[in-house]
Structures are given as structure tokens and as C-alpha cells.
Amino acid sequence: MKRQEIVDAIIDLCNSILLRGQKPTLPNLKAKDWDKVLTLAAEHGVLPIIAPLLSDLTFDDEASRMMLVEWYAIAQCNQQDYELRKSIMCEMASMFAKEGIDILFMKGVTLAQLYPNPAWRVFSDIDYYLFGKSEQGIAILKQHGIENSAYYHHRKRSF
């Protein structure tokens, strides 16, 4: 299976689920091709969207079945990561609110709310803005045992 065919299959599956709200017809692929599709889907953060479809696939050999189980488990971990980050965000909002600081969460979980199932949105960090009170925020985090480390995106800007 060529890369463009893999990409087209992923786009078709995601479009059916996300845009049309339908359960798509699965392409008739061999296990090694499904492995390629799922690998690319994971690399692009859409594995949790198509993972529920894996239960409809059947293969005769155990190695292929185990490959599906592994991909399904990875998708489940993505969804658990979403729930963990959401929980952390609630704790952060509460922590900052007690100190009178507003917080705005951006990207990841915010975009997830546009998905039919928010846990389908894969993201690896929590982006937030403290409305000019980042130094106070760092101090509050430190009070709660959360260390801050410098990161090139996190720099003071004057407007």
C-alpha cells in the first residue's frame, strides 16, 4: 500500500466519523496494511478517532489480532491521557482562582470540545495564559510543589 493510499484511507475514515457522523465502511486491507494505516494515524493524532472501528476487523492469525489489540491499547492510553490532562487543568484553575488569577486554556483541550468525543483530541501539553500574571502563577505552582522550567516559547513580551 502506497503512502497516498494510506493517507486517503485515514482521511476517509476520519471524515465519515467527524464530519458525517457515520460509521464508515472499512477498507478491505491485509493486517500489514492496517498496521501502516494505524501507525500513520497515531503519528497524526487521529488514532483515537478510528480505534473504535478496530473491533469490526477480524484476522485469522494471532500475530495480526495482537497487532490490533496493541493499537487499540495505544488509543485507550491517548484517551486516558486526555482525561488526566483535563483533571490537571481543573486543579490548576482551582489553584489559580483561590489566588484571584484567571486562566485561559488554549489549543489542546479547548479544541477537543469541538470533537464529537473530546477524548479523541490528542495533545501532549497544557497551554494556558494567565493574563500578564505569569510570575505570580509560577510562584503559586511552586507553592504546590510544581517546578517550572524555562522554555523558549515562554518568554515575556511587551505589547
Residue 119's pLDDT is 94
Same structural domain for residues 88 and 72?
A: no
Q: pTM of this prediction? A: 0.83
Would residue 21 count as lying in a domain? yes
**H helices of the chain, where?**
3-14, 31-43, 47-50, 62-98, 108-112, 134-143
Would residue 159 count as lying in a domain? no
Q: Which amino acid is residue 83, in one-letter code?
A: E
Whether the pLDDT of residue 45 is over 60: the answer is yes
Same structural domain for residues 40 and 71?
A: yes
pLDDT tens sequence across 58-82:
999 999 999 999 999 999 999 999 9
* pLDDT tier, 10 (very low <50, low <70, confident <90, very high otherwise): very high
* pLDDT tier, 84 (very low <50, low <70, confident <90, very high otherwise): very high
Whether the pLDDT of residue 152 is over 70: the answer is no
* pLDDT tier, 124 (very low <50, low <70, confident <90, very high otherwise): confident
Residue 158's pLDDT is 46
Would residue 88 count as lying in a domain? yes
CB atoms within 10 A of CB 54: 17
- Host domain of residue 52: 3-77
Kindly state the average pLDDT of the residues 119-136: 92
Would residue 157 count as lying in a domain? no
Exposure b/e, 30-53, CB count within 10 A at least 16 = b: ebeebbbbbebbbeeebbbbbbee
Same structural domain for residues 55 and 98?
A: no
Closest by Cα among 114, 134, 123 to 79: 123
Same structural domain for residues 71 and 53?
A: yes
Same structural domain for residues 8 and 44?
A: yes
Same structural domain for residues 93 and 107?
A: yes
Taking the chain, what is the end-to-end CA distance rounded to the nearest angstrom?
51
Domain boundary among 77, 105, 126: 77
Number of independent structural domains in the chain: 2
Would residue 153 count as lying in a domain? no
Q: What is the DSSP letter of 27?
A: P
Same structural domain for residues 39 and 88?
A: no
Would residue 152 count as lying in a domain? no
Whether the pLDDT of residue 159 is over 70: the answer is no
Would residue 155 count as lying in a domain? no
